[in-house]
Amino acid sequence: MSRVCQITGKSVMVGNNVSHSQRKTKRKFLPNLITKKFFIPEENEYITLKLSTSALRTINKKGISVCVKEARAKGYIKK
């Protein structure tokens, strides 16, 4: 699962480069991903996640335990 956020599920999008003369060539829009390690107190273990920076804000708001539980329910994290 490269270039996919494990919390939000954001992945690569495809679009066009548009020049001044309106020629269109294919390009990729990559998500802004980072690798971060979190401690989950309920499981008493560390988990390493590849997540987008917007997912970091979600974790700060909801908490890591809630976000991991939701991601596992959606199938973004296996275990």
Q: Judge: domain 13-74, CATH 2.102.10.10.
A: no
pLDDT-derived band at 52 (thresholds 50, 70, 90) equals very high
| The pLDDT of residue 2 | 84
Above 70 in pLDDT, residue 46? yes
Identify the H or E element spanning 53. helix 53-62
- Please provide the average confidence, as pLDDT, over all residues in the chain: 94
Kindly report the pTM of this predicted structure.
0.83
Which residues have CB under 8 Å from 29's CB, separation 6+? 12, 13, 14, 15
Above 80 in pLDDT, residue 23? yes
Above 60 in pLDDT, residue 1? no
